[in-house]
Amino acid sequence: MITRYDIDNESTVITLADWYHTPAPSAGLVPTADATLINGLGRYANGPSSPLAVINVQPNKRYRMRLVSISCDPNYIFSIDNHTMTVIEADGVSTNPVTVNAIQIFVGQRYSFVLTTNQPVNNYWIRANPNVGTTGFANGLNSAILRYAGAPLADPTTNQSTTTNLLAETSLSPLLNPGAPGAPTQGGADINLNFDILFNFTDLRFFVNGATFIPATTNPVLLQILSGARTAQELLPPGSVYVLPRNKSVEVSVPGGSPGSPHPIHLHGQTFDVVRSAGNSTYNYVNPVRRDVVSAGIAGDNTTFRFSTDNPGPWIMHCHIDWHLNLGLAIVFVTDVNTTSSFDPPEAWDQLCPAYNSSGLP
């Protein structure tokens, strides 16, 4: 992989975030972002022409850019004027290279792409158009600057490409060890689960298969399992916990289209193989993309992924849109309870609570 690029350092990280003038507790049930921040800088509608983030590059080099969505809500269409991007990684998993000129990135997702600086010395717009909030690029909204060495210190004047070769998730495949666990047929895993997401407009809560997630208010689930004091089912609302045996293949299907869609679904503790992506009706068990955040899509979609229960512990699966998680859009997989409860935590574990209590944090 190292031969694909020349430069990979702290200067090649690109973060995308949403900014709110009003703090979340007083912003209403579904806040709307006032601005997009790229590497912490951005402009808002009818606001000042404040400085934008600048990514400085040398001509005729290959840069490994690490694109990270740290936003609370929007997904973005990301592009760089007059340049293509060769995607080589998704959510920490190296992929076979795919060249595109735009990437849709959801909350919590990460991509690495190789950017070849083979264009004339100039300033070029970097664009991240959100799906909600203020869209477009007037006066540098939702933008940053790619600046070649020797270019003037000014905003770009480049135009967005009129043709979009948007990255298709189904075009990605893992570089190593491709293939989903379980039999290569629908429902061919050892354990097959379907999670219907609903929103109750009376309670103002999300429900997954009839249960809304409310986190434990006392000791964490893992600590309770380790101590043997209580089971995960006793700590969380009925229906929020799914106990999984060791070394089994699990297939999870999440139909799209519930309020607030598309939901970016994130599973802690392991990557998974996306055998059916949003916007696609076919299944791929041979070399599906492997990642840890996937869009559940819109009405008519049925995003499906598989993983193996080879990592003992309690692992939350949740929507990565902050408001949705807060409103109950989550469940917990408890994998291999016997192994988890037999772990002997290191000495540092016992120091976590005293260290926190002495920190003065709330």
Q: What is the pLDDT of residue 227?
A: 64
Counting every residue written for the chain, the total comes to 362
Q: Report how far residue 287's alpha carbon sits from residue 274's, in angstroms, rounded to the nearest whole number.
A: 9
Q: Half-sphere exposure of 166 toward its Cβ, with a 13 Å CA cutoff?
A: 10
CB-based contact 122:148 (threshold 8 Å): yes
Report the C-alpha gap between 230 and 132 in whole angstroms.
Answer: 42
Q: Give me the DSSP letters along 320-341.
A: SSHHHHHTT-EEEEEE-HHHHH
pLDDT in the model for residue 25: 73
Looking at residue 139, the DSSP 8-state letter turns out to be G
Q: Cα separation of 63 and 315, whole Å?
A: 35
What are the φ and ψ backbone dihedral angles of 323, each rounded to 5 degrees?
-65, -35
Beta-bridge mates of residue 98: 87
pLDDT averaged per 10 residues in sequence order, the chain, 362 residues: 86 98 79 96 97 99 99 98 98 98 98 99 99 96 99 97 92 96 98 98 96 81 67 75 95 98 98 98 98 98 98 95 96 84 71 78 68
Q: What are phi and psi of 322, to 5 degrees?
A: -55, -45
Question: Could you tell me how far CA 297 lies from the centroid of its own chain?
Answer: 13
Are 307 and 270 contacting, i.e. CB atoms less than 8 angstroms apart? yes
Alpha carbons 175 and 238: distance in angstroms, whole number: 40
Strands, E, within 39-175: which ranges?
54-57, 62-69, 76-80, 85-90, 93-100, 103-105, 110-116, 123-130, 143-148
Q: What's the confidence (pLDDT) of residue 129?
A: 98
Residue 235: enclosing H or E segment and its boundaries?
Answer: helix 232-235
Give all domains of the chain, ordered by start, each with its CATH number: 10-167 (2.60.40.420), 191-358 (2.60.40.420)
Report the C-alpha gap between 22 and 236 in whole angstroms: 32
Q: How far apart are the C-alpha atoms of 166 and 129, rounded to whole Å?
A: 13
Task: Count the neighbouring beta carbons within 10 Å of the beta carbon of residue 7.
Answer: 15
Q: What's the pLDDT at 346?
A: 77
Contact 20, 34 (CB under 8 A): yes
Minimal CA–CA distance to 117: which of 31, 55, 35? 55
Q: What is this structure's pTM? A: 0.93
